[in-house]
Amino acid sequence: MIELKNVYKSYGSGESKTEALKGVDVTVDDGEYVVILGASGSGKSTLLNVTSGLETPTSGGVFYDGEDISAFKDEELTAFRRRNVGFVFQQYYLLPDMTAEKNVRMGADLADNKDYGQIIAAVGLENKKKKYPAQLSGGEQQRVSIARALAKKPRILFLDEPTGALDEATGRQVLDYLIKLKRELGFTMVAVTHNENIAATADRIIRMNSGVIAEIKSNPAPKSAYEIGW
Ligand SMILES: Nc1ncnc2c1ncn2[C@@H]1O[C@H](COP(=O)(O)OP(=O)(O)OP(=O)(O)O)[C@@H](O)[C@H]1O
Ligand SMILES: [Mg+2]
């Protein structure tokens, strides 16, 4: 279980200080699938970064099974993320000198995962795996980034706008694969999206507004990626 307790995160100081998170309290259960919605600048990415241990909160705690990772030293935090967390970034952050396949293999190696090939195929990139990121479209790069995160077999998968660059058909295919894999492997999934329709596939929906949680809603009957609007 992940618990955020009274989490604040600010950037900069003085005149240029931005309070991106202003007292966030939330719990995510093991195996749960949570979607985070909210306007641009409302703090969605910051919430994801702080929850996953990519960034440290200015104050407050981020507890994993009762242990406060915000108190970890840098090396401890790196080891923690390496063992537990998969991350799909809003800007992909692929390694430019490696092919799509090698990028995915980087993730797989971290988990000693030998059969990452099926993940590449499942995101529809079998025929693009020898290409370098610069030779791929935005949507293809996004799928490499998703495959890389999955290849790591994370305990918790964090996704920042995972379908933002994908057309409807590819977006549904990738989302469907993510949800099925989550059920099969039992990992926890926390996804930020601008697409309100996607919220209907989640177990719970968090709505951010100006650095605070405006609403948390449970969804008793999550829909499949093919049952929602787009
Ligand atoms: N590294 C940073 N340095 C300074 N300010 C930042 C930084 N990261 C985020 N912010 C600010 O914090 C606020 C929240 O940003 P955040 O990226 O979390 O928003 P978001 O909800 O993810 O927006 P979007 O939908 O556009 O991705 C914004 O005002 C943003 O300008
Ligand atoms: Mg963002």
- Kindly report the CATH number that applies to the domain delimited by 31-55+84-218: 3.40.50.300
Amino acid symbol at 204: R
Measured CA to CA, the distance from residue 1 to residue 29 in angstroms comes to: 5
Taking the CA of residue 9 as reference, the ligand 1 atom at the shortest distance is 12
Is the Cβ atom of 46 under 6 angstroms away from ligand 1?
yes
Is the Cβ atom of 91 under 6 angstroms away from ligand 1?
no
Q: How many CB atoms lie within 10 A of CB 215?
A: 11
**Which pLDDT belongs to residue 130?**
98
Mean pLDDT of the chain: 95
Average pLDDT over residues 14-24: 96
Backbone angles phi, psi at 108, to 5 degrees: -60, -40
**Which pLDDT belongs to residue 202?**
98
Measured CA to CA, the distance from residue 214 to residue 55 in angstroms comes to: 22
pTM of structure: 0.95
Please tell me the distance between residue 21's alpha carbon and the centre of ligand 2 in angstroms.
Answer: 13
Q: Which residues of 169-199 are buried (b: 16+ CB within 10 A; e: fewer)?
A: ebbbbbbebbbebbeeeebbbbbbbebeebb
3-state secondary structure the chain: CEEEEEEEEEECCHHHCEEEEEEEEEEECCCCEEEEEECCCCCHHHHHHHHCCCCCCCEEEEEECCEEHHHCCHHHHHHHHHHHEEEECCCCCCCCCCCHHHHHHHHHHHCCCCCCHHHHHHCCCHHHCCCCHHHCCHHHHHHHHHHHHHHCCCCEEEEECCCCCCCHHHHHHHHHHHHHHHHHHCCEEEEECCCHHHHHHCCEEEEEECCEEEEEEECCCCCCCCCCCC
pLDDT of 145 over the 90 cut: yes
pLDDT digits (tens, 9 = 90+) for 53-89: 999 999 999 999 999 999 999 999 999 999 999 999 9
Please tell me the distance between residue 112's alpha carbon and the centre of ligand 2 in angstroms.
Answer: 31
What are the extents of the domains in the chain?
31-55+84-218
Tokens of 227: 């049952």
Backbone angles phi, psi at 18, to 5 degrees: -120, 130
Taking the CA of residue 38 as reference, the ligand 1 atom at the shortest distance is 21
pLDDT digits (tens, 9 = 90+) for 110-143: 888 988 999 999 999 999 999 999 999 999 999 9
